[in-house]
Structure 1
Protein backbone atom coordinates (compact mmCIF):
# COMPACT_ATOMS: atom_id res chain seq x y z
CA UNK A 1 0.00 0.00 0.00
CA UNK A 2 1.20 3.48 -0.82
CA UNK A 3 2.53 5.12 2.33
CA UNK A 4 0.56 8.27 1.54
CA UNK A 5 -2.62 6.25 2.05
CA UNK A 6 -1.56 4.88 5.45
CA UNK A 7 -2.75 7.81 7.52
CA UNK A 8 -3.46 7.43 11.20
CA UNK A 9 -6.48 9.22 12.67
CA UNK A 10 -4.14 11.80 14.17
CA UNK A 11 -2.49 12.28 10.77
CA UNK A 12 -5.85 12.76 9.09
CA UNK A 13 -7.07 15.25 11.68
CA UNK A 14 -3.84 17.23 11.33
CA UNK A 15 -4.10 17.14 7.55
CA UNK A 16 -7.75 18.23 7.65
CA UNK A 17 -6.93 21.14 9.90
CA UNK A 18 -3.81 22.17 7.99
CA UNK A 19 -5.19 21.86 4.46
CA UNK A 20 -8.99 21.66 4.66
CA UNK A 21 -9.33 24.65 6.94
CA UNK A 22 -7.03 26.70 4.74
CA UNK A 23 -9.81 26.49 2.17
CA UNK A 24 -12.84 26.94 4.42
CA UNK A 25 -11.75 29.17 7.31
CA UNK A 26 -11.71 32.45 5.34
CA UNK A 27 -15.42 31.90 4.71
CA UNK A 28 -15.99 31.11 8.38
CA UNK A 29 -14.60 34.49 9.33
CA UNK A 30 -16.74 36.27 6.75
CA UNK A 31 -19.83 34.45 8.01
CA UNK A 32 -19.10 35.39 11.62
CA UNK A 33 -18.59 39.01 10.55
CA UNK A 34 -22.17 39.02 9.29
CA UNK A 35 -23.48 37.51 12.53
CA UNK A 36 -21.84 40.05 14.84
CA UNK A 37 -22.23 40.99 17.62
CA UNK A 38 -21.79 37.56 19.20
CA UNK A 39 -21.12 38.50 22.84
CA UNK A 40 -22.99 36.04 25.09
CA UNK A 41 -24.89 34.56 22.12
CA UNK A 42 -25.38 30.81 22.28
CA UNK A 43 -24.24 29.21 19.03
CA UNK A 44 -24.24 25.62 17.84
CA UNK A 45 -21.87 24.69 15.01
CA UNK A 46 -23.23 21.55 13.35
CA UNK A 47 -20.82 19.26 11.47
CA UNK A 48 -18.11 21.39 13.05
CA UNK A 49 -15.10 19.32 12.01
CA UNK A 50 -12.00 20.26 13.94
CA UNK A 51 -13.63 23.42 15.27
CA UNK A 52 -12.16 26.23 13.19
CA UNK A 53 -15.36 28.25 13.06
CA UNK A 54 -16.32 27.27 16.61
CA UNK A 55 -13.08 28.62 18.03
CA UNK A 56 -13.33 31.84 16.01
CA UNK A 57 -16.88 32.32 17.31
CA UNK A 58 -15.76 31.74 20.90
CA UNK A 59 -12.99 34.30 20.41
CA UNK A 60 -15.70 36.79 19.45
CA UNK A 61 -17.63 36.17 22.66
CA UNK A 62 -20.10 33.46 21.68
CA UNK A 63 -20.95 30.50 23.91
CA UNK A 64 -20.36 27.66 21.49
CA UNK A 65 -21.21 23.99 21.12
CA UNK A 66 -19.23 22.34 18.33
CA UNK A 67 -21.14 19.24 17.20
CA UNK A 68 -19.81 16.53 14.90
CA UNK A 69 -20.44 12.81 14.34
CA UNK A 70 -16.70 12.00 14.28
CA UNK A 71 -15.22 11.49 17.78
CA UNK A 72 -11.71 12.37 16.58
CA UNK A 73 -12.94 15.67 15.18
CA UNK A 74 -14.78 16.39 18.42
CA UNK A 75 -11.67 15.60 20.45
CA UNK A 76 -9.68 18.12 18.46
CA UNK A 77 -12.44 20.74 18.66
CA UNK A 78 -12.58 20.17 22.44
CA UNK A 79 -8.86 20.86 22.67
CA UNK A 80 -9.17 24.05 20.62
CA UNK A 81 -12.04 25.32 22.79
CA UNK A 82 -10.36 24.49 26.09
CA UNK A 83 -9.49 28.10 26.91
CA UNK A 84 -13.17 29.07 26.61
CA UNK A 85 -14.84 27.48 29.66
CA UNK A 86 -18.37 28.24 28.47
CA UNK A 87 -17.82 26.49 25.14
CA UNK A 88 -17.52 22.79 24.40
CA UNK A 89 -17.68 20.08 21.73
CA UNK A 90 -19.89 17.00 21.60
CA UNK A 91 -20.45 13.96 19.39
CA UNK A 92 -23.87 14.50 17.81
CA UNK A 93 -25.58 13.30 14.63
CA UNK A 94 -26.80 16.19 12.49
CA UNK A 95 -29.85 14.11 11.54
CA UNK A 96 -31.02 13.67 15.12
CA UNK A 97 -29.47 16.19 17.51
CA UNK A 98 -29.91 15.17 21.15
CA UNK A 99 -30.71 18.76 22.13
CA UNK A 100 -33.89 20.38 23.41
CA UNK A 101 -36.01 22.54 21.14
CA UNK A 102 -35.19 26.25 20.92
CA UNK A 103 -31.89 26.06 22.83
CA UNK A 104 -29.58 28.26 20.74
CA UNK A 105 -29.59 31.84 19.49
CA UNK A 106 -27.71 30.86 16.32
CA UNK A 107 -27.29 27.57 14.46
CA UNK A 108 -24.42 27.42 11.97
CA UNK A 109 -23.35 24.74 9.53
CA UNK A 110 -20.19 25.66 7.69
CA UNK A 111 -19.74 23.38 4.65
CA UNK A 112 -21.53 20.80 6.78
CA UNK A 113 -25.26 20.09 6.57
CA UNK A 114 -25.56 21.15 2.93
CA UNK A 115 -22.76 18.80 1.88
CA UNK A 116 -24.96 15.77 2.59
CA UNK A 117 -27.65 14.35 0.32
CA UNK A 118 -29.81 14.18 3.48
CA UNK A 119 -29.39 17.92 4.08
CA UNK A 120 -33.14 18.51 4.53
CA UNK A 121 -33.13 16.51 7.77
CA UNK A 122 -30.08 18.37 9.03
CA UNK A 123 -31.61 21.73 8.17
CA UNK A 124 -34.81 20.76 9.96
CA UNK A 125 -32.78 19.91 13.07
CA UNK A 126 -31.01 23.27 12.86
CA UNK A 127 -34.37 25.05 12.89
CA UNK A 128 -35.67 22.91 15.74
CA UNK A 129 -32.82 23.68 18.15
CA UNK A 130 -32.84 27.42 17.36
CA UNK A 131 -35.00 29.72 19.45
CA UNK A 132 -37.80 31.78 17.92
CA UNK A 133 -36.23 34.84 16.31
CA UNK A 134 -32.82 33.18 16.19
CA UNK A 135 -30.64 32.93 13.12
CA UNK A 136 -29.63 30.09 10.79
CA UNK A 137 -26.33 30.47 8.91
CA UNK A 138 -24.95 28.22 6.18
CA UNK A 139 -22.08 28.03 3.73
CA UNK A 140 -21.73 25.76 0.71
CA UNK A 141 -19.49 25.61 -2.34
CA UNK A 142 -21.05 27.06 -5.48
CA UNK A 143 -19.79 23.96 -7.37
CA UNK A 144 -19.17 26.22 -10.37
CA UNK A 145 -15.83 26.34 -12.16
CA UNK A 146 -12.75 26.09 -9.92
CA UNK A 147 -14.51 27.21 -6.75
CA UNK A 148 -12.19 25.10 -4.55
CA UNK A 149 -9.06 22.94 -5.03
CA UNK A 150 -11.29 19.86 -5.19
CA UNK A 151 -13.39 21.37 -7.96
CA UNK A 152 -10.27 22.27 -9.94
CA UNK A 153 -9.25 18.61 -9.56
CA UNK A 154 -12.70 17.55 -10.81
CA UNK A 155 -12.37 19.70 -13.93
CA UNK A 156 -8.97 18.21 -14.78
CA UNK A 157 -10.08 14.67 -13.93
CA UNK A 158 -13.20 14.94 -16.11
CA UNK A 159 -11.16 16.23 -19.04
CA UNK A 160 -8.75 13.29 -18.82
CA UNK A 161 -11.19 10.54 -17.87
CA UNK A 162 -14.66 11.63 -19.09
CA UNK A 163 -16.25 8.19 -18.60
CA UNK A 164 -15.28 7.99 -14.90
CA UNK A 165 -16.49 9.69 -11.75
CA UNK A 166 -14.14 11.47 -9.36
CA UNK A 167 -16.80 11.24 -6.68
CA UNK A 168 -20.20 9.53 -6.90
CA UNK A 169 -22.90 11.50 -8.69
CA UNK A 170 -25.15 13.25 -6.20
CA UNK A 171 -22.65 12.94 -3.34
CA UNK A 172 -22.65 16.71 -2.85
CA UNK A 173 -26.01 18.46 -3.37
CA UNK A 174 -25.85 21.41 -5.74
CA UNK A 175 -27.62 24.72 -5.17
CA UNK A 176 -28.16 28.01 -6.92
CA UNK A 177 -28.79 31.17 -4.93
CA UNK A 178 -32.47 30.83 -5.87
CA UNK A 179 -32.83 27.19 -4.84
CA UNK A 180 -30.87 27.73 -1.64
CA UNK A 181 -33.13 30.64 -0.69
CA UNK A 182 -36.21 28.56 -1.49
CA UNK A 183 -34.89 25.62 0.52
CA UNK A 184 -34.45 27.81 3.58
CA UNK A 185 -37.93 29.25 3.09
CA UNK A 186 -39.41 25.75 2.75
CA UNK A 187 -37.71 24.81 6.02
CA UNK A 188 -39.42 27.72 7.73
CA UNK A 189 -36.87 30.55 7.63
CA UNK A 190 -37.73 34.17 6.95
CA UNK A 191 -35.64 37.27 6.18
CA UNK A 192 -33.32 35.12 4.06
CA UNK A 193 -30.20 36.58 2.46
CA UNK A 194 -28.01 34.57 0.08
CA UNK A 195 -24.82 35.82 -1.53
CA UNK A 196 -21.75 34.44 -3.27
CA UNK A 197 -18.56 35.32 -1.44
CA UNK A 198 -14.95 34.84 -2.48
CA UNK A 199 -11.73 34.05 -0.65
CA UNK A 200 -8.18 33.61 -1.87
CA UNK A 201 -6.69 30.13 -1.36
CA UNK A 202 -2.92 29.82 -1.42
CA UNK A 203 -1.28 26.43 -0.74
CA UNK A 204 1.40 26.14 1.89
CA UNK A 205 4.07 25.61 -0.77
CA UNK A 206 3.00 26.64 -4.23
CA UNK A 207 5.96 24.80 -5.74
CA UNK A 208 4.56 21.43 -4.61
CA UNK A 209 0.82 22.07 -4.48
CA UNK A 210 -0.22 18.71 -5.94
CA UNK A 211 1.81 16.75 -3.39
CA UNK A 212 0.34 18.83 -0.58
CA UNK A 213 -3.21 18.18 -1.76
CA UNK A 214 -2.61 14.51 -2.62
CA UNK A 215 -3.60 12.98 0.77
CA UNK A 216 -6.89 14.86 0.80
CA UNK A 217 -7.61 14.16 -2.86
CA UNK A 218 -7.20 10.44 -2.17
CA UNK A 219 -10.48 10.56 -0.27
CA UNK A 220 -12.18 10.77 -3.70
CA UNK A 221 -12.74 7.24 -5.09
CA UNK A 222 -11.90 8.13 -8.69
CA UNK A 223 -8.56 9.64 -7.71
CA UNK A 224 -7.62 6.76 -5.41
CA UNK A 225 -8.42 4.20 -8.13
CA UNK A 226 -5.94 5.59 -10.70
CA UNK A 227 -3.04 3.35 -11.66
CA UNK A 228 0.51 4.67 -11.59
CA UNK A 229 0.55 5.91 -15.19
CA UNK A 230 -2.86 7.53 -14.93
CA UNK A 231 -1.93 9.21 -11.67
CA UNK A 232 1.25 10.65 -13.20
CA UNK A 233 -0.77 12.00 -16.15
CA UNK A 234 -3.31 13.56 -13.81
CA UNK A 235 -0.64 15.11 -11.60
CA UNK A 236 1.04 16.77 -14.58
CA UNK A 237 -2.26 18.20 -15.84
CA UNK A 238 -3.25 19.28 -12.34
CA UNK A 239 0.05 21.09 -11.82
CA UNK A 240 -0.53 22.94 -15.10
CA UNK A 241 -4.05 23.88 -13.99
CA UNK A 242 -2.79 25.24 -10.67
CA UNK A 243 -0.05 27.12 -12.50
CA UNK A 244 -2.79 28.96 -14.36
CA UNK A 245 -3.52 30.72 -11.07
CA UNK A 246 0.08 31.59 -10.25
CA UNK A 247 1.36 35.13 -9.86
CA UNK A 248 4.62 36.46 -11.29
CA UNK A 249 6.52 35.19 -8.25
CA UNK A 250 5.06 31.68 -8.66
CA UNK A 251 2.63 31.94 -5.76
CA UNK A 252 -0.72 30.32 -6.52
CA UNK A 253 -3.86 32.30 -5.71
CA UNK A 254 -7.02 30.30 -6.35
CA UNK A 255 -10.17 32.45 -5.96
CA UNK A 256 -12.52 30.12 -4.10
CA UNK A 257 -16.26 30.82 -4.06
CA UNK A 258 -19.10 29.78 -1.81
CA UNK A 259 -22.71 30.55 -1.06
CA UNK A 260 -23.35 32.24 2.27
CA UNK A 261 -26.94 32.08 3.47
CA UNK A 262 -28.44 33.60 6.61
CA UNK A 263 -32.08 33.34 7.64
CA UNK A 264 -34.16 33.83 10.75
CA UNK A 265 -36.53 31.50 12.56
CA UNK A 266 -39.90 33.25 12.87
CA UNK A 267 -40.81 34.74 16.22
Structure 2
Protein backbone atom coordinates (compact mmCIF):
# COMPACT_ATOMS: atom_id res chain seq x y z
CA UNK A 1 0.00 0.00 0.00
CA UNK A 2 1.35 3.42 -0.91
CA UNK A 3 1.55 5.86 1.99
CA UNK A 4 -1.11 8.21 0.62
CA UNK A 5 -3.51 5.24 0.39
CA UNK A 6 -3.16 4.48 4.12
CA UNK A 7 -5.78 6.13 6.38
CA UNK A 8 -3.43 5.80 9.38
CA UNK A 9 -1.00 8.12 7.66
CA UNK A 10 -3.67 10.77 7.20
CA UNK A 11 -4.81 10.30 10.81
CA UNK A 12 -1.27 11.09 11.96
CA UNK A 13 -1.01 14.30 9.93
CA UNK A 14 -4.59 15.58 10.32
CA UNK A 15 -3.72 18.35 12.77
CA UNK A 16 -0.74 19.49 10.72
CA UNK A 17 -2.78 19.31 7.51
CA UNK A 18 -5.51 21.47 9.02
CA UNK A 19 -2.96 24.13 9.95
CA UNK A 20 -0.87 24.22 6.79
CA UNK A 21 -2.77 22.75 3.82
CA UNK A 22 -6.38 23.55 4.72
CA UNK A 23 -6.11 27.37 4.40
CA UNK A 24 -4.51 26.96 0.97
CA UNK A 25 -6.92 24.36 -0.41
CA UNK A 26 -9.80 26.43 0.96
CA UNK A 27 -9.05 29.06 -1.69
CA UNK A 28 -9.61 26.49 -4.43
CA UNK A 29 -12.69 25.21 -2.61
CA UNK A 30 -14.16 28.71 -2.66
CA UNK A 31 -13.38 28.95 -6.38
CA UNK A 32 -15.18 25.64 -6.94
CA UNK A 33 -18.20 26.74 -4.91
CA UNK A 34 -18.44 29.96 -6.93
CA UNK A 35 -19.15 27.82 -10.00
CA UNK A 36 -22.22 26.06 -8.55
CA UNK A 37 -25.18 28.00 -7.08
CA UNK A 38 -26.26 26.54 -3.73
CA UNK A 39 -29.24 27.38 -1.54
CA UNK A 40 -30.45 26.46 1.90
CA UNK A 41 -32.27 23.47 0.42
CA UNK A 42 -29.24 22.13 -1.49
CA UNK A 43 -27.90 18.70 -0.54
CA UNK A 44 -24.10 18.68 -0.87
CA UNK A 45 -21.60 15.83 -0.63
CA UNK A 46 -17.87 16.40 -0.13
CA UNK A 47 -15.91 13.26 -1.07
CA UNK A 48 -12.45 12.72 0.45
CA UNK A 49 -13.13 15.86 2.43
CA UNK A 50 -9.87 16.07 4.36
CA UNK A 51 -10.32 18.59 7.17
CA UNK A 52 -13.34 20.08 5.40
CA UNK A 53 -12.17 23.05 3.35
CA UNK A 54 -15.06 22.56 0.91
CA UNK A 55 -17.60 21.18 3.37
CA UNK A 56 -17.27 24.05 5.84
CA UNK A 57 -17.39 26.67 3.08
CA UNK A 58 -20.47 25.03 1.56
CA UNK A 59 -22.13 25.03 4.96
CA UNK A 60 -21.89 28.81 5.05
CA UNK A 61 -24.33 28.94 2.13
CA UNK A 62 -26.91 27.24 4.32
CA UNK A 63 -26.77 23.98 2.34
CA UNK A 64 -27.05 20.60 4.06
CA UNK A 65 -23.60 19.06 3.80
CA UNK A 66 -22.30 15.52 4.21
CA UNK A 67 -18.50 15.26 4.38
CA UNK A 68 -16.89 11.82 4.01
CA UNK A 69 -13.28 10.67 4.25
CA UNK A 70 -11.55 7.34 4.87
CA UNK A 71 -9.44 8.89 7.64
CA UNK A 72 -11.13 9.03 11.06
CA UNK A 73 -8.65 11.71 12.10
CA UNK A 74 -9.71 13.97 9.24
CA UNK A 75 -13.42 13.34 9.89
CA UNK A 76 -12.93 14.22 13.57
CA UNK A 77 -11.57 17.62 12.56
CA UNK A 78 -14.69 18.37 10.54
CA UNK A 79 -17.01 17.11 13.26
CA UNK A 80 -15.14 19.30 15.73
CA UNK A 81 -16.50 22.41 13.99
CA UNK A 82 -19.94 21.40 15.36
CA UNK A 83 -21.91 23.00 12.55
CA UNK A 84 -25.59 22.01 12.64
CA UNK A 85 -25.82 21.59 8.86
CA UNK A 86 -22.67 19.46 8.47
CA UNK A 87 -22.57 15.70 9.00
CA UNK A 88 -19.13 14.06 8.88
CA UNK A 89 -18.70 10.30 8.39
CA UNK A 90 -15.87 7.84 7.80
CA UNK A 91 -16.49 6.33 4.36
CA UNK A 92 -14.58 4.95 1.39
CA UNK A 93 -15.14 7.22 -1.60
CA UNK A 94 -14.60 4.26 -3.94
CA UNK A 95 -17.70 2.55 -2.47
CA UNK A 96 -20.01 5.19 -1.07
CA UNK A 97 -22.62 3.77 1.30
CA UNK A 98 -25.18 6.21 -0.06
CA UNK A 99 -28.27 5.91 -2.29
CA UNK A 100 -28.32 6.81 -5.97
CA UNK A 101 -29.08 10.42 -6.88
CA UNK A 102 -29.20 11.74 -3.33
CA UNK A 103 -27.26 15.00 -3.78
CA UNK A 104 -27.70 18.19 -5.75
CA UNK A 105 -23.95 18.82 -5.88
CA UNK A 106 -21.07 16.43 -5.27
CA UNK A 107 -17.57 17.84 -4.80
CA UNK A 108 -14.08 16.40 -4.47
CA UNK A 109 -11.30 18.93 -3.93
CA UNK A 110 -7.96 17.16 -4.48
CA UNK A 111 -9.44 13.96 -3.03
CA UNK A 112 -10.67 11.46 -5.62
CA UNK A 113 -7.52 12.11 -7.65
CA UNK A 114 -5.54 10.33 -4.90
CA UNK A 115 -7.66 7.15 -4.89
CA UNK A 116 -6.09 3.86 -6.00
CA UNK A 117 -9.19 3.41 -8.19
CA UNK A 118 -9.91 7.03 -9.10
CA UNK A 119 -12.19 5.96 -11.95
CA UNK A 120 -14.42 4.18 -9.45
CA UNK A 121 -14.31 7.28 -7.26
CA UNK A 122 -15.55 9.46 -10.11
CA UNK A 123 -18.23 6.91 -11.01
CA UNK A 124 -19.43 6.84 -7.40
CA UNK A 125 -19.64 10.63 -7.40
CA UNK A 126 -21.78 10.51 -10.53
CA UNK A 127 -23.98 7.74 -9.13
CA UNK A 128 -25.00 9.75 -6.06
CA UNK A 129 -25.54 13.00 -8.00
CA UNK A 130 -29.20 13.57 -8.85
CA UNK A 131 -30.19 13.98 -12.52
CA UNK A 132 -29.65 17.64 -13.33
CA UNK A 133 -27.21 18.04 -10.45
CA UNK A 134 -23.53 18.95 -10.58
CA UNK A 135 -20.27 17.15 -10.03
CA UNK A 136 -17.22 19.29 -9.22
CA UNK A 137 -13.68 17.93 -9.13
CA UNK A 138 -10.42 19.76 -8.53
CA UNK A 139 -7.07 18.27 -9.48
CA UNK A 140 -3.51 19.48 -9.54
CA UNK A 141 -1.47 19.50 -12.68
CA UNK A 142 1.07 16.72 -12.91
CA UNK A 143 3.84 18.38 -10.89
CA UNK A 144 1.58 18.92 -7.89
CA UNK A 145 1.36 22.13 -5.89
CA UNK A 146 2.69 24.10 -2.96
CA UNK A 147 5.61 22.45 -1.15
CA UNK A 148 5.36 19.33 -3.37
CA UNK A 149 5.95 21.60 -6.36
CA UNK A 150 8.82 23.41 -4.61
CA UNK A 151 10.51 20.19 -3.54
CA UNK A 152 10.23 18.76 -7.06
CA UNK A 153 11.81 21.89 -8.54
CA UNK A 154 14.67 21.82 -6.05
CA UNK A 155 15.28 18.10 -6.51
CA UNK A 156 15.51 18.51 -10.29
CA UNK A 157 18.06 21.29 -9.81
CA UNK A 158 20.20 19.67 -7.12
CA UNK A 159 19.86 15.99 -8.07
CA UNK A 160 19.07 15.93 -11.80
CA UNK A 161 20.16 12.31 -12.12
CA UNK A 162 17.50 11.12 -9.68
CA UNK A 163 13.93 10.41 -10.61
CA UNK A 164 11.23 11.86 -8.40
CA UNK A 165 8.42 9.58 -7.38
CA UNK A 166 5.51 9.82 -9.77
CA UNK A 167 2.39 11.64 -8.72
CA UNK A 168 -0.63 9.36 -8.15
CA UNK A 169 -2.11 7.96 -11.35
CA UNK A 170 -5.26 10.04 -10.97
CA UNK A 171 -3.28 13.28 -10.88
CA UNK A 172 -1.36 12.31 -14.00
CA UNK A 173 -4.44 11.12 -15.87
CA UNK A 174 -6.56 14.17 -15.04
CA UNK A 175 -3.80 16.75 -15.25
CA UNK A 176 -4.77 17.91 -18.75
CA UNK A 177 -8.25 19.14 -19.72
CA UNK A 178 -8.75 16.61 -22.52
CA UNK A 179 -8.06 13.61 -20.30
CA UNK A 180 -10.07 15.16 -17.49
CA UNK A 181 -13.06 15.63 -19.79
CA UNK A 182 -12.91 12.04 -21.05
CA UNK A 183 -12.74 10.66 -17.52
CA UNK A 184 -15.73 12.65 -16.29
CA UNK A 185 -17.85 11.59 -19.25
CA UNK A 186 -16.81 7.96 -18.78
CA UNK A 187 -17.85 8.23 -15.12
CA UNK A 188 -21.37 9.30 -16.08
CA UNK A 189 -21.20 13.08 -16.15
CA UNK A 190 -21.84 15.30 -19.18
CA UNK A 191 -20.65 18.62 -20.62
CA UNK A 192 -17.66 19.24 -18.32
CA UNK A 193 -16.41 22.81 -18.07
CA UNK A 194 -12.79 23.00 -16.97
CA UNK A 195 -10.94 26.10 -15.75
CA UNK A 196 -7.35 26.65 -14.69
CA UNK A 197 -7.16 28.40 -11.33
CA UNK A 198 -3.87 29.60 -9.79
CA UNK A 199 -3.16 30.77 -6.25
CA UNK A 200 0.13 31.32 -4.45
CA UNK A 201 0.99 29.04 -1.58
CA UNK A 202 2.66 31.36 0.95
CA UNK A 203 5.49 29.40 2.54
CA UNK A 204 6.58 30.90 5.85
CA UNK A 205 10.35 30.64 5.48
CA UNK A 206 10.74 30.35 9.26
CA UNK A 207 9.06 26.94 8.98
CA UNK A 208 12.18 25.66 7.22
CA UNK A 209 13.70 25.45 10.72
CA UNK A 210 11.49 22.36 11.08
CA UNK A 211 11.54 21.07 7.49
CA UNK A 212 9.51 17.93 8.21
CA UNK A 213 6.51 20.20 8.75
CA UNK A 214 7.11 21.69 5.29
CA UNK A 215 8.04 18.66 3.19
CA UNK A 216 7.09 15.69 5.37
CA UNK A 217 3.93 14.83 3.41
CA UNK A 218 5.96 14.26 0.25
CA UNK A 219 7.47 10.83 -0.51
CA UNK A 220 10.25 12.68 -2.31
CA UNK A 221 11.40 14.02 1.07
CA UNK A 222 11.52 10.83 3.08
CA UNK A 223 14.10 9.14 0.83
CA UNK A 224 16.63 11.97 1.11
CA UNK A 225 19.73 11.68 3.30
CA UNK A 226 20.45 14.23 6.02
CA UNK A 227 22.98 15.94 3.75
CA UNK A 228 20.48 16.02 0.87
CA UNK A 229 17.85 17.53 3.12
CA UNK A 230 20.25 20.22 4.30
CA UNK A 231 20.98 21.09 0.66
CA UNK A 232 17.26 21.31 -0.12
CA UNK A 233 16.64 23.62 2.81
CA UNK A 234 19.56 25.84 1.83
CA UNK A 235 18.24 26.09 -1.74
CA UNK A 236 14.75 26.98 -0.52
CA UNK A 237 16.22 29.76 1.61
CA UNK A 238 18.25 30.99 -1.35
CA UNK A 239 15.09 31.09 -3.48
CA UNK A 240 13.37 33.13 -0.78
CA UNK A 241 16.13 35.72 -1.09
CA UNK A 242 15.73 37.02 2.43
CA UNK A 243 11.96 37.41 2.17
CA UNK A 244 9.94 36.09 5.12
CA UNK A 245 7.47 34.42 2.75
CA UNK A 246 8.23 32.43 -0.41
CA UNK A 247 5.24 32.44 -2.79
CA UNK A 248 4.76 29.22 -4.75
CA UNK A 249 2.30 29.69 -7.65
CA UNK A 250 0.16 26.55 -7.83
CA UNK A 251 -2.34 25.73 -10.56
CA UNK A 252 -5.39 23.51 -10.30
CA UNK A 253 -7.92 22.37 -12.84
CA UNK A 254 -11.50 22.76 -11.60
CA UNK A 255 -14.13 20.84 -13.53
CA UNK A 256 -17.89 21.31 -13.26
CA UNK A 257 -20.03 18.68 -14.99
CA UNK A 258 -23.72 17.88 -15.27
CA UNK A 259 -25.49 14.67 -14.34
Establish whether TM, by shorter chain, passes 0.5.
yes
Q: CA deviation at 1:172?
A: 5.2
CA contact (8 A) 1:22 1:201 kept: no
1:190 is matched with which residue? Answer: 190
Unaligned runs of 5+ in 2: 1-8
Q: CA deviation at 1:199?
A: 1.5
Query: What does the per-residue CA deviation read over 1:87-127, in whole Å, with 9 as the maximum and x for residues that have no partner?
Result: 20001001111111111111100000022342100000001
Of 14-23 and 103-112, deviating more is 14-23
SS in 2 for 1:131: strand
1:25 is matched with which residue? Answer: 26
Partner Cα separation in structure 1 for residue 36 and residue 16 of structure 2? 29
Structure 2 counterparts to residues 8-47 of structure 1, below 5 A: 12-47=13-48
C-alpha change, 1:216 and 1:70, in structure 2 (3 Å) is farther
Partner Cα separation in structure 2 for residue 130 and residue 226 of structure 1? 43
Query: What does the per-residue CA deviation read over 1:214-242, in whole Å, with 9 as the maximum and x for residues that have no partner?
Result: 3252233331122221111111112223x
Structure 2 counterparts to residues 150-189 of structure 1, below 5 A: 150-168=148-166, 170=168, 173-174=171-172, 175-189=175-189
C-alpha change, 1:94 and 1:153, in structure 2 (3 Å) is same
C-alpha change, 1:212 and 1:172, in structure 2 (3 Å) is farther
Of 157-166 and 103-112, deviating more is 157-166
1:114 is matched with which residue? Answer: 113
Q: CA deviation at 1:20?
A: 1.0
CA contact (8 A) 1:115 1:140 kept: no
2:202 is matched with which residue? Answer: 202
CA contact (8 A) 2:11 2:71 kept: no
Partner Cα separation in structure 1 for residue 178 and residue 208 of structure 2? 34
Q: CA deviation at 1:58?
A: 0.5
Structure 2 counterparts to residues 1-267 of structure 1, below 5 A: 12-80=13-81, 82-84=82-84, 86-144=85-143, 147-168=145-166, 170=168, 173-174=171-172, 175-203=175-203, 206-211=204-209, 214-241=212-239, 243=240, 250-265=244-259
CA contact (8 A) 1:39 1:62 kept: yes
Unaligned runs of 5+ in 1: 1-7
CA contact (8 A) 1:127 1:136 kept: yes
Partner Cα separation in structure 2 for residue 256 and residue 35 of structure 1? 22
- Report the count of equivalent residues: 249
Partner Cα separation in structure 1 for residue 59 and residue 44 of structure 2? 9
TM-score by length of 1: 0.84
